[in-house]
Structure 1
Amino acid sequence: MHSLLLIHNGKTENDIETRSAQSPEGILKSCGYVVGVATDQEQAAGMIRDIDAFILNMPITEINLWREKLIRHKIAPVLWWCTSSTANLSVSACGDDIMVDGILSPSMQAQEIHWILHFSSRQCFERHQWLKEKEQLLARIEERKWIDMAKGILSKAKNISESEAYDLLRKQAMNERKRMVDVATSIVKVYQLLQDQT
């Protein structure tokens, strides 16, 4: 991880403080990172392609909105820059469903920042992989439902066992050069259409 995008959400401190060594940008640059700074969505969009992580310097209640905007463009870790000015809300704000991969603060040493960025990157990509696997499993479950419904319809209509109905579905899919779930979906929809008309 080398290139970071620091987002101030349009509420930057005055320019002298923002560029000082104690600013998030100054601290991250002193750790050896290339840091792009954006204050609005348009600025951020122009820099997203080349970055490795997003650092959000804003109140915690604004994080999810920004996170959604950013990850639509690129999957990358999202970290919160936590300071007394960004964490000035009550503890109840922590109960919100805030999705960040890590938290950074100005009091951290360079080594701590490196480790947090490393672990947040790993966390982000593992979560993204889990979400893809979850989507695939849900799609398989949905396909299985259509196949099971079609098996039941064929079994009842042709007075055959469910295993015979499954074989019939498989053979029909091969003959039509379609996926089994597509054949099953067609059977179920036609059956439902006929049921609605009677």
Structure 2
Amino acid sequence: MRRLLLIHEHVAHASKPNQASAEASAVAEENLCESGYHVYTACSAADLPRCIHEIDAAVVHLPIARIAGWQRNLEKLKPVPVLWWCSPYSGTSSADYCQDDAPIDGILTPSMSPSELHWALHVGTKQFLDRQQWHTERQQLRSKLEERKWIDMAKGILSDINRVSEAEAYDMLRRKAMNERKRIVDVATSIVKAHQQLKA
């Protein structure tokens, strides 16, 4: 992992908070470059398409409250680990927004040495991959539960109509699916929908 995207706020005028943000972002970029990383920068979502396919991770130097929007923009283009650059500026501006479910995979700080940055990025990447795996498994489980719901409803309908047990109704569903070369859930869904239309 050598290519990072540093996301920070655009400084429109030289107010003290904006100056602090700009200075801390410059320190972040300098620290990351000196630690051997190639750093791209982005201040708006419009900047993402030009570099998104080059990067291995995103480092966000923002108040925590603004990270979720950036993460959604990144997810649309390319899911990557998101690590928070916790500087005095971003830490102080996040004090009112402390929460356990901040959408980040790790934290980096200005005081980290190159080896500490490396390991924090490594651990953050593992956290990201674990989160992606968990999300995939959750989606698969939801899909299976949804399929089970349709199959159970179809079994109940076939059992009532044909006056057979649910086990026999399931065998009927399975045979119909095999004969029509369809998935059993597709046959079950069509049976349930047809039954609902007849009752309407």
Counting matched residue pairs gives: 193
Q: Which residue of 2 aligns with 1:165?
A: 169
Mapped to 2, the partners of 1:63 and 1:29 lie a distance apart of 22
Q: C-alpha displacement at 1:190, in angstroms?
A: 1.0
Q: For each residue in 1:28-51, what CA deviation from the matched residue of structure 2 results, as whole angstroms up to 9, or x when unmatched?
A: 011111111121111222101010
Identity of aligned residues (%): 48
Q: C-alpha displacement at 1:91, in angstroms?
A: 3.5
1:33-48 to structure 2, matched below 5 A, reads 33-48=37-52
Q: Which residue of 2 aligns with 1:51?
A: 55
**Residue of 178, 191, 197 corresponding to 2:182:** 178
Residues 135 and 174 of structure 1: CA distance in aligned 2, closer, same or farther (over 3 Å): same
Residues 19 and 86 of structure 1: CA distance in aligned 2, closer, same or farther (over 3 Å): closer
1:104-183 to structure 2, matched below 5 A, reads 104-183=108-187
Q: Give me the CA root mean square deviation.
A: 1.9
Q: Which residue of 2 aligns with 1:29?
A: 33
Residues 96 and 55 of structure 1: CA distance in aligned 2, closer, same or farther (over 3 Å): same
Q: For each residue in 1:1-21, what CA deviation from the matched residue of structure 2 results, as whole angstroms up to 9, or x when unmatched?
A: 11000011313759x95796x
Is the contact made by 1:7 and 1:44 (CA closer than 8 Å) also made in structure 2?
no
Give the counterpart letter for 1:112 in structure 2. E
Is the contact made by 1:147 and 1:184 (CA closer than 8 Å) also made in structure 2?
yes
Q: For each residue in 1:74-125, what CA deviation from the matched residue of structure 2 results, as whole angstroms up to 9, or x when unmatched?
A: 1110011111111223634112742100111101111111100000001101
TM-score (norm 2): 0.90
Q: C-alpha displacement at 1:154, in angstroms?
A: 0.6
Is the contact made by 1:77 and 1:121 (CA closer than 8 Å) also made in structure 2?
yes
Residues 59 and 25 of structure 1: CA distance in aligned 2, closer, same or farther (over 3 Å): same
Q: Which residue of 1 aligns with 2:10?
A: 10
1:64-103 to structure 2, matched below 5 A, reads 64-89=68-93, 91-95=95-99, 97-103=101-107
Give the counterpart letter for 2:86 in structure 1. C
**Residue of 59, 62, 66 corresponding to 2:66:** 62
Report runs of 4+ in structure 1 exceeding 4 Å deviation: 16-20
Unaligned stretches of 5+ in structure 1?
A: none
Is the contact made by 2:8 and 2:25 (CA closer than 8 Å) also made in structure 1?
no
Q: For each residue in 1:165-185, what CA deviation from the matched residue of structure 2 results, as whole angstroms up to 9, or x when unmatched?
A: 111101101111111111111
SS of 1:191's equivalent?
A: helix
TM-score (norm 1): 0.91
